């Protein structure tokens, strides 16, 4: 089972898009195992975006993600990384396909609404940055037999 971290960024919350975005992910059949509304600290933001440290846009990433509350979501399941990334769309909303979250709601790469883990390894690492084990739930859903074989 893969795990992915989703972050509904400050622009998603400020624009009142939490519900529509979560609905799209849930409608795909994805299993949420943790949700948390939070204010990201500077320290956590620097860890999360550490791969970009030293790049010209790093300070802007940290400043933006810490500027207002976010919703972090842990999702678990088979092939969730690719399913989520296809649902989210291209990083640049101007290049995101219609029907994707960024394609339908985004306009600008600097305000692209949502973060989604890009690999199973990063998904596991990112989930552990934002959630303690005690905050993640293991449970069965009655719909699982209708979502996956």
Query: pLDDT tens across 136-146, in order?
Result: 999 999 999 99
Q: How many CB atoms lie within 10 A of CB 46?
A: 18
CA dihedral angle for residue 132, residue 21, residue 23, residue 140, rounded to 10 degrees: -20
- Which residues does the annotation mark as catalytic? 115
pLDDT of amino acid 62: 96
Q: What is the pTM of this model?
A: 0.95
pLDDT of amino acid 66: 98
Q: pLDDT grade, residue 149 (50/70/90)?
A: confident
Residues forming beta bridges with residue 35, ordered by sequence position: 73
Ordered by where they begin, the domains of the chain are 2-135 (3.30.70.141)
Mean pLDDT within 74-94: 97
67 secondary structure, DSSP code: S
Mean pLDDT within 49-62: 93
């Amino acid at each position: 089972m893969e795990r992915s971290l989703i972050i509904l960024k400050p622009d998603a919350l400020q624009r009142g898009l939490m519900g529509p975005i979560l609905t799209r992910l849930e409608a795909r059949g994805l299993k949420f195992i943790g949700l948390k509304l939070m204010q990201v600290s500077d320290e956590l933001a620097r860890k999360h975006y550490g791969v970009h440290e030293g790049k010209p846009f790093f300070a802007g990433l940290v400043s933006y993600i810490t500027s207002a509350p976010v919703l972090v979501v842990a999702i678990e399941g088979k092939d969730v990384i690719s399913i989520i990334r296809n649902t989210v769309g291209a990083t640049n909303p101007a290049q995101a396909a219609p029907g994707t979250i960024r394609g339908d709601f985004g306009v600008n790469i600097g305000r692209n609404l949502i973060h989604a883990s890009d690999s199973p390894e990063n998904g596991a690492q990112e989930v552990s940055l934002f959630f303690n084990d005690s905050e993640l739930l293991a449970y069965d859903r009655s719909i699982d037999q209708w979502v996956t074989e």
